[in-house]
């Protein structure tokens, strides 16, 4: 098998199975494990996969720039946002992450909801200006332009005074093996800091994030109260998450 054919096979396996184990593919094809690892390095350099210990998993399209992400999985994000908004009880203090799905949560909030939203996203804060009964607190710090959120040491320190009922957290990848990931180390640290300030953390996971992974770990799946997603229950990755005991909040209704 030629190298381009082998790499096409690896991409097909990533799409089909949600992961590739280098030693298994090497044994199947009768090539060295180093050859498969080299292929995976080249695919990762092209942004086509995310290397992990022993192999690779699909890379997340959610690491694209903010403007591009606004056009990705719009309907899926709206469904996830509606289900996430329904988790908020009147009187709650909610930490709302940045990103395009969090912005969709703002638009899904009932107009008569009385709650407090704490956010490190200026775009989320601005979108809440016209909400009549939601009080808004903004956590400041260095602006990470990729996701339009504050991050860094000053933002983490500012978050330490927050005590919230709920954190609605965005990530770029939800994977049974890699856990919850994002594309920037400082942003990952900020998400961990915010999660520590909330009684419960729920992950906003539109379809393109399920089964994908990025470079930096945020939290293990066991550390969150649930994953809000509209990915189908029969999806192979979702099935693995369920078998692992990860609570799933089904956006658009509970599967039969």
Write the DSSP string, 181-195: EES-HHHHHHHHHHH
Nearest CA to 237 out of 177, 181, 172 is that of 177
Greatest mean pLDDT among 41-45, 117-121, 143-147, 237-241: 117-121
Q: How confident is the model at residue 179 (pLDDT cuts 50, 70, 90)?
A: very high
Tell whether 97 is covered by a domain. yes
The predicted model gives 236-240 an average pLDDT of: 90
Tell whether 75 is covered by a domain. yes
Nearest-angstrom CA–CA distance, 31 and 36: 8
Give the helix/strand (H/E) hosting 199.
Answer: strand 198-205
Tokens 């094809």 belong to residue: 29
User: What's the number of domains the chain is made of?
Assistant: 2
Tell whether 255 is covered by a domain. no
Tell whether 256 is covered by a domain. no
Domain co-membership, 88 together with 22: no
Picking from 44, 59, 74, the residue at the C-terminal end of a domain is 59
Nearest CA to 234 out of 256, 203, 212 is that of 256
Domain co-membership, 229 together with 190: yes
Tokens of 176: 């049974």
Tokens of 230: 């509209």
Contact in structure between 119 and 136 (CB atoms under 8 Å): yes
Contact in structure between 22 and 33 (CB atoms under 8 Å): yes
Residue 189 belongs to domain spanning: 66-250
Q: How confident is the model at residue 48 (pLDDT cuts 50, 70, 90)?
A: confident
pTM, full prediction: 0.80
Give the pLDDT confidence score for residue 127 in this predicted structure.
Answer: 96
Tell whether 52 is covered by a domain. yes
Contact in structure between 239 and 176 (CB atoms under 8 Å): no
Nearest CA to 121 out of 150, 90, 154 is that of 150
CA distances from 120 to 26, 165, 253 (A): 45, 16, 30
Pairing of strands 134-138, 164-170: unpaired
Tell whether 186 is covered by a domain. yes
CA distances from 216 to 73, 122, 189, 250 (A): 22, 23, 9, 26
Buried b (16+ CB within 10 A) or exposed e, 10-28: bbebbeeebbbebeebbee
Give the pLDDT confidence score for residue 256 in this predicted structure.
Answer: 46
Tokens of 27: 């044994």
CATH number at residue 22: 1.10.10.10
């Amino acid at each position: 098998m030629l190298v381009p054919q082998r790499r096409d096979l690896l991409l097909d396996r990533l799409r089909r199975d949600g992961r590739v184990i280098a030693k298994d593919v090497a044994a199947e094809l009768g090539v060295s494990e180093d050859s498969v690892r080299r292929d995976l390095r080249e695919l990762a350099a092209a942004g086509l996969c995310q290397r992990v210990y022993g192999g690779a998993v699909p890379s997340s399209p959610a690491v694209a720039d903010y403007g591009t992400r606004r056009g990705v999985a719009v309907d899926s994000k709206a469904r996830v946002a509606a289900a996430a908004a329904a988790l908020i009880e009147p009187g709650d203090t909610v930490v709302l992450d940045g990103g395009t799905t969090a912005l969709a949560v703002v638009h899904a909030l009932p107009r008569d909801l009385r709650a407090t939203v704490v956010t490190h996203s200026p775009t989320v804060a601005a979108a809440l200006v016209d909400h009549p009964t939601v009080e808004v607190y903004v956590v400041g710090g260095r602006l990470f332009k990729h996701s339009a959120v504050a991050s860094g040491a000053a933002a983490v320190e500012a978050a330490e005074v927050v005590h919230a009922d709920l954190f609605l957290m965005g990530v770029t990848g939800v994977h049974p093996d890699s856990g919850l990931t994002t594309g920037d180390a400082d942003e990952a640290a900020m998400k961990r800091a915010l999660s520590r300030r909330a009684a419960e953390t729920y992950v906003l996971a539109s379809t393109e994030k399920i089964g994908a992974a990025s470079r930096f770990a945020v939290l293990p799946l066991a550390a969150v109260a649930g994953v809000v997603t509209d990915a189908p229950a029969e999806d192979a990755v979702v099935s693995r998450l369920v078998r692992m005991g990860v609570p799933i909040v089904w956006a658009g209704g509970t599967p039969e």
